[in-house]
Structures are given as structure tokens and as C-alpha cells.
């Protein structure tokens, strides 16, 4: 049976094996997908072993996405823009690196009825998650993408990578006006913190999207909800859609992400 895995450190709580088992069942693909812990200082060696062991593909998660980018033999446009790889296809012993995180975000937004084409979008944060999201958001045809971050120069650097496109960097303190879509890619919610933002960013037409997900609303989504946002979405759909795009990259078959999301919410 073709072998796939998700590798990270830590990895115990990964939902990827469950999600890919559901995709395999749906599409009747005979694959084996497990999770593996690689040593913090030994990712390159671990990857060599997986390739030698005839693995067909893998997902890469924290903290190895940048190392995976450096180790791949070929890279897709999304991986190059993100400077990080979350999906590897192994073909003739060569690693093809892709990044489905930002594509998964856009796929989830669209499947939830959010219109990106012609919209004014605010992306909060300028870490790895924002870097991966910028190109797919721009490719979705937004009118303007404003990227804002606590440490301004990081937002500037991402905007500079997409020079000539509809992206502009702003310091958090200089944000004004309202946005059709506000995406939180910062890790503030993860630490239970909220970001100090002007109320005027949210109107009754605004969709708030937190890349994090939790059982209850995240602090960012609570903030947007209180200010009257039209809808507040968490990152579970992004997780499932990035996995679906990885599955399709490996197997050439698109699974039904929506059906899996429903099962995860119920479970
Ligand atoms: P990831 O790979 O998940 O994007 P990261 O690369 O560590 O993680 O980036 C975390 C992002 O969250 C950064 O943009 C960080 O801002 P700084 O660049 O200023 O550090 C942002 N972040 C984390 N905690 C925050 C907080 N309390 N308020 C605002 N931004 C925060």
C-alpha cells in the first residue's frame, strides 16, 4: 500500500491521519497515512530515511516547513512564495515541495460563500502563515490586500515579495477604514491574547477569519463578533482544505472537504 505520513515535533495531536483516512475512504484510494515524530535536530536525516523507505508523500508541520523547503529538489510557485513546504510528493526518489496552506485558506473562504474577487482584505501578522497566504489571496483577485504586523518590517518584506501586485504593508497602529475580509494569521489567539485594533475595521459586511481554531470562538473572532461582523470563521476549514489539496497533489483525485468538515465538527 502507498505510504504517506505527517511529520512534525510535536505531532501527537495532529488530526491529519484522521482527515486523510476519511479522504481515502471517500475516494476509495488504498493508502496508509500515519504520523511521525522527527527529532528536532534530525529532520534532513529523517526525510532521507522516508524516501529510502519508498514513502510516496508527506505533510510537514511545525517546526520543519522551512527546512523542507530547503531540502526539496523541485518547488511549486506556492512553496516558493511561502518559502516553506507543507506537502511533499516523492517521485522517482525526488522530493517535489508544495504549499497548500494559503490555497486551503482561499478554498475554505470561497466554500463558505466569501467573495474575495474585488474585495478589500486585511491580513494580520507577517510570520510563516501570512507568507503562505499572501500569494493565493492575491491570485483570488482581491482589489487590495493590506498586510499589517506588530513588527512592521516583516509586513513590508512580504509586500515587497509581491511588488507590482495589489498589496500594501501598514503598521498595526495606522490601520483605518473597514475591510470586507479580515484574516488573523498571528499566533496571538494561540496565546489567548487579542490584538489591539481600531473598532472601525469591522462593518456589518465584514467577514472575520481566524486561522486558529478552538472549541469555542477564538479571542479574535469574539472581538469581531462584538463589533458586528457579518460572519466569523475559524481555521478548521483551512486545515481540512489544505489537506484535501495535498491529497489531490499526491493522488490526482479531489476529495470532498465539506463532508469531512461536517464529520469533524460533529465528532
Ligand atoms: P506562524 O508560522 O504561525 O505565522 P510566526 O512565524 O511565529 O508563526 O509568526 C507569528 C505572528 O504572530 C507574527 O506576525 C507575530 O508578530 P511579530 O512579527 O511582531 O512577532 C504575531 N503575533 C504573535 N503574538 C502577537 C500579539 N500578541 N499581538 C500581535 N501580533 C502577534
Per DSSP, the three-state class of 94 is strand
Q: Is the complex ipTM more than 0.85?
A: yes
CA-CA distance, 85 to 64, in Å (whole number)? 8
C-alpha of residue 30 to centroid of ligand 1, in Å: 39
The DSSP bridge pattern shows strands 94-98 and 87-91 to be antiparallel
Q: How many CB atoms lie within 10 A of CB 141?
A: 12
The residues facing 231 across adjacent strands are 207
Cis peptide leading into 167, omega within 30 of 0?
no
CA-CA distance, 107 to 173, in Å (whole number)? 30
- Cα-based angle 109, 10, 8 (whole degrees, multiple of 5): 65
Tell me the CA distances in angstroms from 65 to 114, 137, 241, one per residue in order. Answer: 28, 20, 18
pLDDT of residue 262: 93
Query: pTM for the full model?
Result: 0.96
Calculate the CA dihedral of residues 212, 218, 223, 225 and round it to 10 degrees.
100
CA-CA distance, 252 to 136, in Å (whole number)? 20
Q: How many CB atoms lie within 10 A of CB 53?
A: 8
C-alpha of residue 38 to centroid of ligand 1, in Å: 24
pLDDT single digits (tens) 158-171:
999 999 999 999 99
Nearest ligand 1 atom to alpha carbon 154 = 18
Ligand 1 site-directed mutation target among 170, 172, 186, most atoms within 8 Å of CB = 186
Ligand 1 site-directed mutation target among 127, 159, 238, 242, most atoms within 8 Å of CB = 127
Annotated active-site residue 80? The verdict is no
CA-CA distance, 73 to 166, in Å (whole number)? 31
* Grid cell digits, residue 155: 509586513
Calculate the CA dihedral of residues 249, 254, 257, 260 and round it to 10 degrees.
-100
Q: With CA atoms as reference, report the closest residue to 71 among 96, 38, 49, 53.
A: 96
pLDDT single digits (tens) 208-224:
999 999 888 999 999 99
pLDDT of residue 194: 78
**What are φ and ψ of residue 162, in 5° steps?**
-120, 35
Instruction: Please give the domain boundaries of the chain with CATH numbers for all domains.
Output: 2-99+237-266 (3.40.50.10860), 102-234 (3.40.50.720)
Residues making up the annotated binding site for NADP(+) are 125-129, 149-154, 211, 235
Per DSSP, the three-state class of 226 is helix
pLDDT of residue 142: 98
Dihedral sign, Cα of residue 8, residue 77, residue 232, residue 194:
positive
Residues 185, 136 contacting (CB under 8 angstroms): no
Residues 52, 100 contacting (CB under 8 angstroms): no
C-alpha of residue 185 to centroid of ligand 1, in Å: 8
**What are φ and ψ of residue 209, in 5° steps?**
-130, 120
Q: Tens digit of pLDDT per residue, the chain (267 long)?
A: 999 999 999 999 999 999 999 999 999 999 999 999 999 999 999 999 999 999 999 999 999 999 999 999 999 999 999 999 999 999 999 999 999 999 999 999 999 999 999 999 999 999 999 999 999 999 999 999 999 999 999 999 999 999 999 999 999 999 999 999 999 999 988 787 879 999 999 999 999 999 999 888 999 999 999 999 999 999 999 999 999 999 999 999 999 999 999 999 877
Amino acid at each position: 500500500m502507498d505510504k504517506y505520513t505527517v511529520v512534525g515535533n510535536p505531532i501527537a495531536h495532529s488530526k491529519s491521519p484522521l482527515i486523510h483516512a476519511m479522504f481515502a475512504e471517500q475516494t476509495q484510494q488504498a493508502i496508509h497515512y500515519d504520523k511521525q515524530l522527527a527529532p528536532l535536530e534530525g529532520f534532513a536525516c529523517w526525510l532521507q530515511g522516508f524516501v529510502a523507505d519508498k514513502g510516496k508523500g508527506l505533510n510537514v508541520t511545525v517546526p520543519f516547513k522551512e527546512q523542507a523547503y530547503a531540502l526539496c529538489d523541485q518547488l511549486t510557485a506556492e512553496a516558493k512564495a511561502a518559502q516553506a513546504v507543507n506537502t511533499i510528493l516523492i517521485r522517482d526518489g525526488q522530493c517535489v515541495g508544495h504549499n497548500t496552506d494559503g490555497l486551503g485558506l482561499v478554498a475554505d473562504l470561497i466554500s463558505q460563500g466569501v467573495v474575495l474577487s474585488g474585495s478589500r482584505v486585511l491580513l494580520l501578522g507577517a510570520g510563516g502563515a501570512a507568507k503562505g497566504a499572501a500569494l493565493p489571496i492575491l491570485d483570488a483577485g482581491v482589489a487590495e490586500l493590506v498586510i499589517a504586523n506588530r513588527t512592521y518590517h516583516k509586513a513590508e518584506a512580504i509586500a515587497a515579495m509581491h511588488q507590482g501586485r495589489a498589496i500594501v504593508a501598514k503598521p498595526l497602529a495606522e490601520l483605518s477604514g473597514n475591510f470586507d475580509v479580515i484574516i488573523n494569521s498571528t499566533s496571538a489567539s494561540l496565546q489567548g491574547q487579542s490584538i489591539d485594533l481600531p473598532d472601525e475595521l469591522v462593518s456589518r459586511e465584514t467577514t472575520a477569519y481566524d486561522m486558529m481554531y478552538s472549541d469555542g470562538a477564538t479571542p479574535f473572532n469574539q472581538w469581531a463578533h462584538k463589533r458586528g461582523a457579518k460572519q466569523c470563521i475559524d481555521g478548521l476549514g483551512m486545515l481540512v482544505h489544505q489537506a484535501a489539496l495535498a491529497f489531490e497533489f499526491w493522488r490526482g483525485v479531489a476529495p470532498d472537504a465539506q463532508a469531512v468538515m461536517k464529520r469533524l465538527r460533529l465528532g
